[in-house]
Structure 1
Amino acid sequence: MLTGNLLWVLVGTMLLGIAAGITGTFSFLQKQSLVGDAAAHAALPGIALAFLVTGQKELPILMLGAGITSALSVYCIQWIVSFSKMKADAAIGLVLTVFFGIGVVFLTVVNRSPLGNQSGLNNFIFGKAATMTKADLMWLFISATIIILVSLLLYKEWKLLIFDPVYAKGIGLPIEALKATLTILIVMTIVTGIQAVGVILMSALLIIPAASAKLWTNKLSSMLVLSAAIGGISGITGTFISSIRTGLSTGPIIVLVAAAIFFISYFISPAGQINKYRRKMQFRKQGELG
């Protein structure tokens, strides 16, 4: 049975899934998905440090800490790639592990502190939507709505940036500002969703819907709609399942739902394995007839 609070949580995670699907699509097409993975893991030290400094589990303060360390991780990746011979994937792996390791250390310190039992910060690792208060949900609604609206407003500019950056620069578009805005929105999406989905799996909600949508279409507008729909369905379905099965973390269930949609798409979509097999058999028959 849907209680009032559960209904709001479902709507909130649906909006989160939509926002992640949209920003994740732009990130996916720019081949920056793993940067989002690093930023998601890097949110943990910010959350723990914010609690250690203030001693309070106030969501705006914790999210500010998460946002700062997530943004710092992205800057570190860009700096390492620019000023060293290290490739992007290696830089991402280095930053991800260092930041997450620091986060685990800080979290251990929090759990051993007098307020550790009341902190509830462990829920930020895998997510627990059921623990969200009305104030938390209001934060989620506002943040997700802003992310969605800004993404739609900048749709044309980001489309040019992704598919024809030379032309975009030629007509005077602020390339670096557009890239920075996309990075900010990705960090916002991560920060908004970590309480519901968790720092470890938030990146999956950015990647899987976009990857699934790409199997169905190559048109950006259609891909955005499909990715947003997959993200929203995953969010609302995963949250509902975790609510009726006490003790299940929300994040893993949401990701499993998204993964199930991806595997279905992998086989039955126009670019899926079944259609590839059919085309292969048709070519073989044509070759035999020829």
Structure 2
Amino acid sequence: MMDILSSFSFQIVAIGTMILAFACGVIGTINVLRQNSLIGDAIGHAQFPGVVLAFMIVGTLDALSLLIGALIFGAFAFFVIQMINQYSKISLDASLALVLSSFFGFGMTLKSYVQGSSAYGHTGGIDDYIFGQAAYMLRADVNIILIVSAISLLIFIFNYQRIKIFIFDPVYSHMIGNKPTVMNALILVMTIGLIAAGLKAVGVILIVNLLIAPGVIGLMWSKRYLYVTLIAGFSGLVSAFVGTYISTAYVGFATGPTIILCLSAIVLFSILFGTHGAVRNGLMRRRHAA
């Protein structure tokens, strides 16, 4: 065990995934409580063509360039979703599905073109952004995760009361001067940034789980928002550490999916045995019925 913990490669991957999972857990509670969880899924898939286009322009898998490409396409996808939802009769879930499939299909088409062309050289690393490849994270990737997570958490901390009011009483929030456009922009910046930073770690397919699952865990154990965010953040952090350790100790276990499996196990346990879980609620109903 100590050999693994003292390994430099393990430490790099563990630090990166733990920071990312903690930040995603905290920020993800906003979208869970606002019932906008699938927006993260749509944005994550929509960022993939931005990654491929950035590679085509730069010519290398430079972490910062790919992050910028992902951010641009994530913001553009959100704008498209809002336009469809506002100016058409298409429902939000339908517009999310349209954007998700269209953008991701565009990204896969670009990937096929790039990998089939001799002009771009080695392109195997692009696949890492679909399913994630945390085991091959570099210090530059961890630095980006650290910077983006720190910015997102600082935005959250400095606007905690405003965000809290906006989540639970948007009408009152607007009355006291919190403009919905500004609040939505803050939430969008935090969410898109974390998704873009975490693409290499867990991929576009699984990144949404890091944003949703910790929030669900938090809600199963508390109804106080501060406690929900702390439980969500630390459940993500613990899952990242355990998942990274398991994938390092046992050959053949991919780091990203293993982290998601650990997080899913905590979700299942919380749904069953949490303070507000199924078992406790069932016992309470029986007592009231008696």
State how far apart, in whole Å, the 2-side matches of 1:126 and 1:27 are: 23
CA offset at residue 118 of structure 1? Answer: 4.3
Q: What aligned pairs does 1:266-277 form with structure 2 within 5 A after superposition?
A: 266-277=271-282
Q: Which residue of 2 aligns with 1:51?
A: 55
**Residue 28 in structure 1 maps to residue 59 in structure 2:** no
Match for 2:213 among 197, 208, 213? 208
Query: Is the deviation greater in 68-77 or in 242-251?
Result: 242-251
State how far apart, in whole Å, the 1-side matches of 2:65 and 2:245 are: 28
State how far apart, in whole Å, the 2-side matches of 1:30 and 1:266 are: 19
**Residues 130-161 of structure 1, C-alpha deviations (whole Å, 9 max, x = no match):** 21111221111121122112111111010111
State how far apart, in whole Å, the 2-side matches of 1:124 and 1:45 are: 10
Query: Is the deviation greater in 169-178 or in 227-236?
Result: 169-178
Q: Which residue of 1 aligns with 2:115?
A: 111
CA offset at residue 61 of structure 1? Answer: 0.6
Q: TM-score, normalised by structure 1?
A: 0.94
Match for 2:74 among 70, 73, 81? 70
Q: Which residue of 2 aligns with 1:246?
A: 251
Aligned partner letter, 1:74: F
Q: Which residue of 1 aligns with 2:41?
A: 37
Aligned partner letter, 1:202: I
C-alpha contact (below 8 Å) 2:43/2:78 kept by paired residues: yes
- Name the % identity: 34
Q: Aligned to 1:200, what secondary structure does the other structure show?
A: helix
Query: Is the deviation greater in 246-255 or in 41-50?
Result: 246-255
C-alpha contact (below 8 Å) 1:126/1:250 kept by paired residues: no
State how far apart, in whole Å, the 2-side matches of 1:192 and 1:10 are: 15
Aligned partner letter, 2:138: T
CA offset at residue 119 of structure 1? Answer: 4.2
**Residues 207-264 of structure 1, C-alpha deviations (whole Å, 9 max, x = no match):** 1110111111111101000110111112222222222233433221111111100000
C-alpha contact (below 8 Å) 2:25/2:233 kept by paired residues: yes
**Residue 4 in structure 1 maps to residue 25 in structure 2:** no
Aligned partner letter, 1:282: R
Query: Is the deviation greater in 209-218 or in 81-90?
Result: 209-218
Q: Which residue of 2 aligns with 1:91?
A: 95
Query: Is the deviation greater in 172-181 or in 242-251?
Result: 242-251
State how far apart, in whole Å, the 2-side matches of 1:182 and 1:103 are: 25
State how far apart, in whole Å, the 1-side matches of 2:253 and 2:121 are: 22
**Residue 167 in structure 1 maps to residue 172 in structure 2:** yes
**Residues 67-122 of structure 1, C-alpha deviations (whole Å, 9 max, x = no match):** 11111111111100000001101110111011111111111112222345444111
Aligned partner letter, 2:110: F
State how far apart, in whole Å, the 1-side matches of 2:113 and 2:121 are: 8
Aligned partner letter, 2:221: W
Q: What aligned pairs does 1:210-225 form with structure 2 within 5 A after superposition?
A: 210-225=215-230
Match for 2:20 among 16, 19, 31? 16
Q: Which residue of 2 aligns with 1:188?
A: 193
Specify every segment of 5 or more residues in structure 2 that has no aligned partner in the other structure, as ranges.
Answer: none
Q: Aligned to 1:122, what secondary structure does the other structure show?
A: helix
C-alpha contact (below 8 Å) 1:126/1:249 kept by paired residues: no
Aligned partner letter, 2:109: V
Going from structure 1 to structure 2, the CA distance change for 1:116 and 1:231 (only over 3 Å counts) comes to farther
C-alpha contact (below 8 Å) 2:12/2:137 kept by paired residues: no
Runs of 4+ in 1 over 6 A off after TM superposition: none
**Residue 140 in structure 1 maps to residue 142 in structure 2:** no
Paired residues, number: 285
State how far apart, in whole Å, the 1-side matches of 2:10 and 2:257 are: 18
Match for 1:120 among 116, 122, 125? 125
